[in-house]
Amino acid sequence: MRKIRLFLLIAGAAAIAGVFATSAKAIAFDDTPCRPDVVGPTIHYCPSGETNKAYSLQIQAHGGCDVYVWSNPGGGLPPGLSLGSAGLISGTPTTTGKYIFWLQIQDTFGVPASWCTDDKASQRQFEIDIVPGLQIQQRQSTLTGAQLNQAYNLQFTATGGSSLTWSVASGSLPAGLSLDPSTGLLSGTPTALGDYQFQIKTTDGSRSDIQTYNLSVVEPLRITKFTPIAEVGRPFDVTLAATGGKAPYTWSATGVPAGLTFDATTGKITGTPTASTAATVKVTVTDSVGVATSMTVSLAVVDRLTVKRGALPAAKVGGIYSFRLTTVGGARPFTWTALKGLPAGIKLNAKTGRLYGVAKKAGTYRFRVQVADALGAHASLSMVLKVSAGGARARR
């Protein structure tokens, strides 16, 4: 009785194994998603791809144990695409053309069981055509900002197609702006401040491209007016300022005089000028969303401040005396002072530098004058004024 039972168990196991073994059909590729060529050589045509557009194609197979080893004998996939371990062809094609290649599948040895393995591999020839992709050329995610109540326009363009139609696929354009559906021109006058996000779509009827953009509408950007003046040999330090736009700002400048430097981050012009000049400096400020404005500034560099040398005309007791001192260089306005030693009756006008009055006593008087300019520079000079007896007048 035991021998009969053992025989039945062995026979049953063999029958079950035979059922599994015969159920494992030969492995083969599916006829989808790549259609076979029914006329010429047996090539399966896969959906075409576009350059610079993501491509993904899952090749299907059947039979065997459904756990395959995938390979691409001889290569030949379109540049930018690769074959994954599960039969997925994916990537971003970079070059147009017709690409013919072979794929091979084979059961994974011993998975899920040795009895299920089909030692034979299956190969098939495929073709993928890569055509020029329709692509919007403005790929930057942030567009140059718009200024409130000022005209704005941006021309969208695309490659790889013709007779294009443009539209806003999602989001909203800033109030006051519109997109021309036939030309792709974004234009108008924005009427509301804010940060906007939207998608622009273009299509030629069969292909399309969509790009997401951010656009800020800001207060008009302006450079604060200033009238700088510098002096040879004297440290100079001016910081430019702007209003509106969206901080932080970056600066640029051309025509800065010799000896001075410009800081693009802070907008500071600093240094010590080395030569007098009447410079024309063009400064430009750009905000964080690309809005820019420029201003031309006249930057005068004057000579170092000195008091002009020369002998003073003599004065006479009782006579009206008037003589104006002058400077070389310096920045107006000037402030004059005189140290002790002026003749009695003679004074120095602090604004004009004029010596004036009526001398009261004859003699030779030695004194020192000093002048300060608008930049804080000082210069001084020792002078001699002779006063003689008599009533003649000395003027200039």
Span 116-154, pLDDT tens digits: 655 678 999 999 999 888 999 999 999 999 999 999 999
Distance of alpha carbon 11 from alpha carbon 23, whole angstroms: 18
Domains and CATH numbers, the chain: 2-131 (2.60.40.10), 136-218 (2.60.40.10), 222-302 (2.60.40.10), 306-395 (2.60.40.10)
In this prediction, the residues of the chain whose per-residue pLDDT falls under 50 are 1-23, 391-395
Residue with tokens 């540049």: 79
Tell me whether the omega of the peptide bond preceding residue 112 falls within 30 degrees of 0, making it cis. Answer: yes
Report the SS3 class of residue 69: strand
Distance of alpha carbon 106 from alpha carbon 352, whole angstroms: 104
CB 388 within 8 A of CB 365: no
202's tokens: 């273009």
Give the predicted TM-score (pTM) of the model.
0.70
Distance of alpha carbon 348 from alpha carbon 371, whole angstroms: 11
Which pLDDT score, from 0 to 100, does residue 111 have? 61
Q: Output helix, strand, coil percentages for the chain, rounded to the nearest 5.
A: 5, 45, 45
Beta strands across the sheet bearing 165-171: 146-147, 208-218, 194-203, 165-171
CB 73 within 8 A of CB 39: no
Burial class (CB in 10 A: 0-12, 13-18, 19+), 291: buried
Q: How far, CA to CA in Å, does 8 sit from each of 1, 12, 17, 21? A: 11, 6, 14, 20
Which pLDDT score, from 0 to 100, does residue 67 have? 81
Burial class (CB in 10 A: 0-12, 13-18, 19+), 275: exposed
Residue 147 has phi, psi (to 5 degrees) of: -110, 135
Distance of alpha carbon 313 from alpha carbon 322, whole angstroms: 9
Cβ count near 86 (within 10 Å): 10
CB 47 within 8 A of CB 53: no
281's tokens: 């400096």
Cβ count near 13 (within 10 Å): 10
Cβ count near 236 (within 10 Å): 19
Rg (CA), the chain: 45
CB 199 within 8 A of CB 213: yes
